[in-house]
Structure 1
């Protein structure tokens, strides 16, 4: 098959392009800008476009399909050319379903935890040498490409994102996969630029549950009240398996999972991660891995890329960076680090970077999310507000919204960086939470702080 990717540089798009090239497809692509690590990975596989920009001449008559990424716009000249020529146009999830329609589809959904749960499942399958297809939204040790597609594997595990499929397909991605086995980890309002009300956002997860095939399985987090309510209310003829956070304790900055055979030390920590582990265990058991084999494998799981990633450590100081940015993730991550390092001072830094987090009304959702921190810092860029077309927000609004005594707010990257270098980090944990980079901060330089 000959396939052209419009907006090939996206994190998921470029991984799918590589996976299809490895499968023997003829792949071309275009984009107006491609950043690292996508650029190097595409170049390594001979898929980097020679020129940046859109060109309708890229749309050849002999193309079998075009895959359209969210970064493109509805008036993209290549998209218009493909429509005019009658070439089949797929969104990313549509094409992934086409690749997976004859497999057992396992879809991991939820506002938070889905990358970690999917990564746990892949780690266990790899450890137990069970070959499966997959799509995960993060890099994982021992896995070359976050997308892997074959003809022969029976199972495919898909991280099911609730964001939109493409500029011309406004359905959430996870509505398109029709899972045989699904997991729902939790619901916390996000993506307010697409789902302007909580009720509208909640409805997407109800539709996801209804999309599970008849006789399929729903594994769900019974500790999340909204998930529990939706799971119990559905009339879809499916089997339901609730899960809860297992028993665990911490000893000497180490998390110990209490299993039937005794105590099992883990590389990961935090109640939210232990809750994710319980969900991953159910899924692995449905995929043929017994409980003992799951525990043996999960003991060596170190976490997904960018999820509570330890970037520096000394005798008295630890520095983490984490992708957390939504209120629920910030709350869970901060609590997890404080629980694990209860005898150390926790300095939590959060960048407000996404459309939702920079919305003055949505800010209220962050109330008490940094409560477990001993010192709390919030950074945001007025330029980011302007680029997203949002109203200005002020330091007083942020202080009031978070409700955290002593909260420090920074808007200047240079001043924020200087503050980091002036901090006393003795017997401390520095937690850097963001989906951005604090206005150009080099995280590698943080190693010099200790």
Structure 2
């Protein structure tokens, strides 16, 4: 098959391009800018566009399909040419469904935890040499790409994102997969730029549950009241199986998970991660992994990339980096670090970086999110607010939203960096939460500073 990618450089898009190339498809693509690591990975396989930009002449009738990335605009010249010629156009999730419609589709949905749960499942299956197709939202240790597609594997594990499918398809991605087996980890309002009301956001999860194939099943987190309400209200004839956080204890900074054979040390920590683990266990059992084999494998799971990732440790200082940005994730991550390091100062630095987090109306959702931290800093860039064409957010609004009198707020990257490097981090667990880099913080330099 000959397939052309419009906006090939995105994290998900370039991984799909690599997966299809590995499957023997002829792949071409375009983009106006491509950053590392996408650039180097595409180049290595001979898939990097020779020139950046959009070239309608690349679109010809002999293409089998176009895959359209979110980064492209609806008036993209290549897209317009494809529409004019009548070439089949897929969004990323539509194409994944096409590749997996004869397989058993396992879809992991939820506002938070889906990358971690998907990663746990893939880790366990890989540990036991069980081959499956997959698509996951983070680069996993031991996995070459984030997407893997074959003709022969029976199962495909899909991370079910509720964000939009493409510039011309405004449906959430996870509405298109039609799962046989689904999981729903939690519902907490996010993506305010697309789902302007909480009710509108929750409705997407109702549609997801109703999209499960008849006779299929859903595993759901019984500790999330909204999830319970959505699943129990569904009239879809499916099996409904709940899960909850397993028993665990913490001794000398190590989390021990209760299993039928006693307490077992594990690498990950935090109540939210143990809850994720319970969901992953259910899914693995559906695929044929028994409980004992699951525990053996999960004891070696170190976490998904950028999710509570330990980036430095020296004497009595430990530093974690986390992708957390939405209020529920920030709260869960901060609480986890405080629980794990109860005898240390927990110092949390949060960058408000996404559309939702920089929205003046949405800010109040952060109330109490940093309460578990002993010291808390919020960094945001007024420049980022301007780029996203949002209303200006003031320091006073941020202080009011978090309802924390001792909250420290920085808007200047240089001043934040100076402050961070000046701190005494003895007996401290430092948590850096951001989907950005605090306006240019060099994490490698910071790691050297600690040592």
The bucket for the TM-score relative to the shorter chain is: over 0.9
Aligned to 1:46: 46
1:311 is aligned to 2:311? yes
Tell me, in whole angstroms, the C-alpha distance in 1 between the residues paired with 2:318 and 2:301.
20
Report Cα offsets for 1:175-226 as digits up to 9, x if no partner.
Answer: 0000000000000000000000000000000000000000001000000000
In structure 2, runs of 5+ residues without a counterpart are none
Match of 2:199 in 1: 199
User: Which residue is 1:403 aligned to?
Assistant: 403
Rounded to whole Å, the distance in 2 between the matches of 1:367 and 1:53 is: 43
> Could you say what secondary structure the match of 2:377 adopts?
strand
Determine the C-alpha separation between the residues in 2 that align with 1:158 and 1:16.
Answer: 13
Deviations 1:313-347 (A, max 9, x none): 01110011100000000000000001001111011
Q: Which residue of structure 2 lines up, in the alignment, with residue 265 of structure 1? A: 265
1:141 to partner: Cα distance: 1.0
Which residue of structure 1 aligns with residue 171 of structure 2?
Answer: 171
Separation in 2, partners of 1:33, 1:231: 41
Q: Are residue 17 (structure 1) and residue 17 (structure 2) matched? A: yes
Greater shift, 275-284 or 388-397, is seen at 388-397
Q: What is the CA distance between 1:400 and its match in structure 2?
A: 0.8
CA distance in 2, matches of 1:83, 1:395: 47
**TM-superposition CA deviations, 1:279-305 (whole Å, max 9, x none):** 000000000000000000000000001
For the pair 1:443 / 2:443, whether they are aligned, the reply is yes
Aligned residue in 2 for 1:375 = 375
Deviation at 1:446, TM superposition (A): 1.5
Identify the residue that residue 420 of structure 1 maps to in structure 2: 420
Match of residue 58 from structure 1? 58
Give me the whole-angstrom Cα distance separating, in 2, the residues matched to 1:340 and 1:428: 12
Q: Which residue matches 1:234?
A: 234
C-alpha separation in 1, matches of 2:222 and 2:449: 41
Structure 1 stretches of 4+ with a deviation exceeding 2 A read: none
Deviations 1:95-153 (A, max 9, x none): 00000000000000000000000000000000011000000000111100010000000
Partner secondary structure for residue 162 of structure 1: coil
The reply to whether residue 298 of structure 1 matches residue 298 of structure 2 is yes
Instruction: Give distance in 1, aligned partners of 2:260 and 2:333.
Output: 28
1:144 aligned partner = 144
Counterpart residue number, 1:106: 106
Distance of 1:405 and 1:143 partners within structure 2:
44
Task: State yes or no: 1:3 paired with 2:6.
Answer: no
Is residue 2:361 matched to residue 1:335?
no
Alignment partner of 1:5: what SS? Answer: strand
| 1:284 and 2:288 aligned | no
5 Å-filtered alignment, 1:79-90, equals: 79-90=79-90
1:349-393 superposed Cα distances (whole Å, 9 cap, x missing partner): 000000000001100000000000000000000010011111111
Measured on the aligned residues, the alpha-carbon RMSD in Å equals 0.5
* 1:49 alignment partner, SS class: coil
Query: What is the CA distance between 1:449 and its match in structure 2?
Result: 3.1
Task: Encode CA deviations 1:156-185: one digit per residue, 9 max, x unaligned.
Answer: 000000000000000000000000000000
Question: Which residue of the partner structure matches residue 35 of structure 1?
Answer: 35
3-state SS in 1 of match to 2:364 = helix
Residue-pair matches, total: 450
Gaps (5+ residues) in structure 1? none
Distance 1:435 1:180 in 2: 32
Q: TM-score, normalised by structure 1?
A: 0.99
Paired position in structure 2 for 1:216: 216
Q: Displacement of 1:44 after TM fit?
A: 1.3
TM-score (norm 2): 0.99
Q: How far apart, in 2, do the equivalents of 1:36 and 1:437 lie?
A: 15
Matched residues in 2 for 1:268 and 1:42: separation? Answer: 32
Q: Give the aligned partner of residue 274 of structure 1.
A: 274
Q: Give the whole-Å Cα distance in 2 for the aligned partners of 1:307 and 1:43.
A: 28
Tell me the CA shift for residue 60 of structure 1: 1.9
Q: Does 1:430 align with 2:430?
A: yes
Cα distance, 1:40 vs structure 2: 1.1
Give the Cα separation in 1 of the matches to 2:232 and 2:300: 34
Shift of 1:395: 0.8
2:189 equivalent in structure 1:
189
| SS of alignment partner, residue 414 of structure 2 | helix
2:442 and 2:326 map into 1 onto residues whose CA distance is 22
Q: CA–CA distance in 2 between the matches of 1:256 and 1:60? A: 58
